[in-house]
Structure 1
Amino acid sequence: MENVVLIVHLILALSLIGVVLLQRSEGGGLGMGGGGGGVMSGRAAATALGKVTWGLAAAFIVTSIALTIIAAENSAGGSVLDRLADSPEETVGTPGTAPEENGLGSDLLPPSSGPVVPQAD
């Protein structure tokens, strides 16, 4: 169910981007150019693309809320920190034992040539 809503959500997002890019700029945004010339009415006429934009935006918001509800229902109901506290601790090994005895592979460690003793001249 979540995947279906997510796919519909992505299709709505792409459609909304496309419809917004198809609309012509009416200017006036951030005080920039344009102007309609003639008498400006208080309310702009609703075009077909404007109605489609509103419909897609409403559907996008509905799918966003649906995805939020689905994600909340699927959550474990606890914090990530709670899950970390419940997990068993892994022991790396005890000091003084060989890596092979601890279960660690010796191929991950550099070869040891014994202790390095400085030579006196």
Structure 2
Amino acid sequence: MENVVLIIHLLLALSLIGVVLLQRSEGGGLGMGGGGGGAMTGRSAGTAMGKLTWILAVAFICTSLALTIIAAQNASGSSVLDRIMDDPGPAAAEQEAPALPDGGGSLLPPAAGDDAPLAPTAD
């Protein structure tokens, strides 16, 4: 069911893009230019393309809501934080780091001014 609604949603999105791109440009944002009714004049032009745009937009919003409802029903009963707290994850699997062979605290070589040997001597 979710796949069917998703395919319809994608088809609506593509057709909505196509219908919007095919409409005549009125020039200017919010219908302020170009004469025939825009968003600011109270009545829209009522052309076939305008009506088709509204129908596709309403259908797109309906499929968006349907997909949200389907996703909410398919979700598990717990939140993400509950799942993180219940899962032991990598923190439980941590082990103590192995000791270095020479017993030192760093794997980096000594600084240029240090005269310390790289390996402990058996004196």
* TM range, smaller chain: 0.5 to 0.7
Paired residue for 2:85? Answer: 85
Paired residue for 2:21? Answer: 21
SS in 1 for 2:27: coil
Query: Which runs of structure 2 are paired with 1:1-121 in the superposition (5 Å)?
Result: 1-29=1-29, 33-35=33-35, 43-89=43-89, 90-94=92-96, 114-115=101-102, 118-119=116-117
Deviations 1:66-95 (A, max 9, x none): 001001101112211101111135322245
Q: Is the CA contact 1:27–1:35 (under 8 Å) kept in the aligned structure 2?
A: no
SS in 1 for 2:93: coil
Cα distance change on mapping 1:92 and 1:22 into 2, 3 Å:
same
Runs of 4+ in 1 over 6 A off after TM superposition: none
| Alignment partners' CA distance in 1, 2:93 and 2:28 | 66
Identity %: 66
What 5-or-longer segments of structure 1 have no aligned partner? 98-111
The size of the alignment, in residue pairs, is 101
User: TM-score, normalized by length of structure 1?
Assistant: 0.68
| Alignment partners' CA distance in 2, 1:44 and 1:92 | 66
| Alignment partners' CA distance in 2, 1:5 and 1:25 | 32
- TM superposition shift of 1:50: 1.0
Deviations 1:81-117 (A, max 9, x none): 10111113532224558xxxxxxxxxxxxxx7x3268
| Alignment partners' CA distance in 1, 2:48 and 2:70 | 33
Structure scoring higher RCO (CA < 8 A, sep ≥ 6) equals 1
- Alpha-carbon RMSD across the aligned residues, in angstroms, is 2.9
User: TM-score, normalized by length of structure 2?
Assistant: 0.67
